[in-house]
Amino acid sequence: MSLQNRSLMLAFLTTLCFAVFLPTLIPSARLTFFVPFLIVTYYQRSFMSSLWIAVLCGTIMDLLSSTPRLGIYALNYTLTTFLLYNQRRHFFADSLSTLPLMVFLFCFLSTSLQILQMYIFDQQISLSWGWALTDLLIMPTFDALFGFVWFVLPHLLFGKPVRRGKEYFI
């Protein structure tokens, strides 16, 4: 499974469907649906294109959510993409663990930046150990699991088998 060969349009459309319809079906699900799509764009697009796509995804999340001020998600996704884009060179595009690890890192960094943004924009924040455990560890893990189940697992189950070693030359 290579992140460089994924269809960006299909990934965007399915992610958009999840972001629009899943919160109505399961209101307690607080997944960040666009993150696996953004990680795939890191491996297929340039830095500037990835930043613009992050702005687009953040704006869509701003329009779909009602809690933070308009523009918070767009700024957050853009800043996170700015900080995380170059880290892609430390992870192979064809490794099974790349997408979940990068999604975890994105969500962890995004949550940390969002706390800073809320502090800057004078919104009330209450930090606790329970919040840190939930929002900095458990939720990024669920986001990484979502990315693995939706983007990696179908390719493993239904994709073309990868030939290795002697099988490659048959």
Can you tell me the distance from the alpha carbon of 145 to that of 104, in angstroms, rounded to the nearest whole number?
Answer: 9
Name the residue with higher pLDDT: 79 or 159: 79
- Tell whether the model's pLDDT for residue 161 goes beyond 60: yes
Residue 94's nearest CA partner among 45, 140, 156 is 156
Can you tell me the distance from the alpha carbon of 57 to that of 35, in angstroms, rounded to the nearest whole number?
A: 9
Each residue's pLDDT tens digit, 48-100: 999 999 999 999 999 988 777 788 899 999 999 999 999 988 888 777 888 89
Q: How many CB atoms lie within 10 A of CB 1?
A: 19
Query: How many domains, the chain?
Result: 1
Q: Does the residue 103 lie in any domain?
A: yes
Residue 105 lies in a domain: yes
- Residue at 164 is within a domain: no
Whether residue 68 is contained in a domain is answered as: yes
Q: Considering the domain boundaries, does residue 43 fall inside one?
A: yes
Q: Which residues contact 7 (CB under 8 A, 6 or more apart)?
A: none
Q: Is residue 166 part of a domain?
A: no
Q: Is residue 170 over pLDDT 60?
A: no
Q: Which long-range contacts (CB under 8 A, 24 or more apart) does 131-137 make?
A: 135/111, 136/108, 136/111, 136/112
Domain span including residue 152: 3-159
Residue 100 within a domain: yes
| pTM score of the predicted model | 0.84
What CA–CA distances, in Å, run from 115 to 9, 73, 144? 31, 12, 20
First and final C-alpha spacing in the chain: 21
H or E stretch covering 62: helix 47-64
Residue 115 lies in a domain: yes
Tokens encoding 65: 């959510």
